């Protein structure tokens, strides 16, 4: 159960909360929204930043979701892990590739460019940050400076959401929970405090 009671639909409507930034990326309203909405300005700003990072740029959208997934799992946030893994699959990443992510360094399902990005995501999810100069040098072989900024922005926005959802204990919705229970459990995912 969430540590901060989510606002109801009527309360969201009374506050005039604009949910247009969500678009078609989620099957249900993420339960983080009704807690972020206690401060509509924070919800609006974080939503706009998320939309800019995840909706724009030149880095493949499926890869961005995988980066968010690996960074979130490395940080320990099961809520964001379930959402980002589901988002990757919805964006065209086969479930088998999502399941193979912990073997990204050896699996033929991943390109060298993806391996470099995922290595940075995994290291950046740790506290303290475990990204090395060698990891960044490998990233620079495959991505422009603008794309690297985009990759790090994905990691950073999920850092915010990881901390928010783990601290609040946000309850996971039906669709990402079902995907995670079907595809992520064998690799250390569990519902934890988000059930």
Q: pLDDT for 28-62, tens place per residue? A: 889 999 999 999 999 999 999 999 999 999 999 99
Please check whether residue 139 lies inside any domain of the structure.
yes
Please check whether residue 48 lies inside any domain of the structure.
no
Please check whether residue 24 lies inside any domain of the structure.
no
- CATH assignment at residue 79: 1.20.1290.10
Q: Are 163 and 36 in contact (CB under 8 A)?
A: no
d(CA 139, CA 121): 11
Percent of the chain with pLDDT over 90: 89
Please check whether residue 80 lies inside any domain of the structure.
yes
Please check whether residue 32 lies inside any domain of the structure.
no
d(CA 10, CA 139): 46
Q: Are 126 and 135 in contact (CB under 8 A)?
A: no
- List Cβ neighbours of 182 (8 Å cut-off, separation of 6 or more): 95
Res 18: pLDDT: 80
Is the pLDDT assigned to residue 1 strictly greater than 70?
yes
Among 56-65, 103-112, 141-150, 184-193, the minimum mean pLDDT is found in 184-193
Please check whether residue 17 lies inside any domain of the structure.
no
d(CA 66, CA 151): 11
Please check whether residue 42 lies inside any domain of the structure.
no
Is the pLDDT assigned to residue 20 strictly greater than 80?
no
Confidence of residue 23 (pLDDT cuts 50, 70, 90): low
Please check whether residue 8 lies inside any domain of the structure.
no
The whole domain housing 99 covers 60-189
Give the gyration radius of the chain's Cα atoms. Answer: 16
Per-residue pLDDT, averaged over 156-183, amounts to 97
Q: 29 versus 163: which is more confidently predicted?
A: 163
- Residue 142: closest CA among 170, 111, 172, 163: 111
Res 124: pLDDT: 97
Is the pLDDT assigned to residue 24 strictly greater than 80?
no
Number of domains the chain contains: 1
Per-residue pLDDT, averaged over 77-103, amounts to 96
Res 19: pLDDT: 79
pTM, full prediction: 0.95
């Amino acid at each position: 159960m969430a540590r901060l009671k989510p606002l109801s639909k009527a309360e969201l409507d009374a506050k005039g909360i604009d949910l247009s930034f969500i678009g078609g990326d989620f099957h249900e309203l993420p339960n983080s929204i009704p807690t972020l909405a206690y401060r509509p300005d924070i919800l609006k700003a974080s939503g706009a930043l998320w939309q800019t990072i995840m909706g724009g740029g030149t880095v493949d959208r499926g890869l961005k979701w995988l980066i968010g997934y690996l960074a979130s799992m490395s940080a320990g946030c099961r809520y964001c892990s379930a959402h980002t893994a589901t988002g990757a699959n919805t964006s065209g990443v086969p479930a088998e590739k999502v399941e193979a992510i912990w073997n990204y360094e050896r699996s033929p399902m991943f390109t060298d460019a993806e391996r470099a990005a995922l290595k940075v995501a995994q290291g950046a999810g740790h506290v303290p940050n475990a990204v090395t100069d060698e990891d960044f040098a490998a990233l620079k072989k495959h991505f422009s400076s603008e794309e690297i900024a985009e990759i790090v922005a994905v990691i950073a926005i999920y850092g915010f959401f990881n901390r928010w959802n783990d601290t609040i204990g946000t309850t996971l919705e039906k669709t990402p929970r079902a995907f995670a229970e079907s595809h992520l459990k064998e690799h250390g995912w569990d519902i934890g405090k988000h059930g």
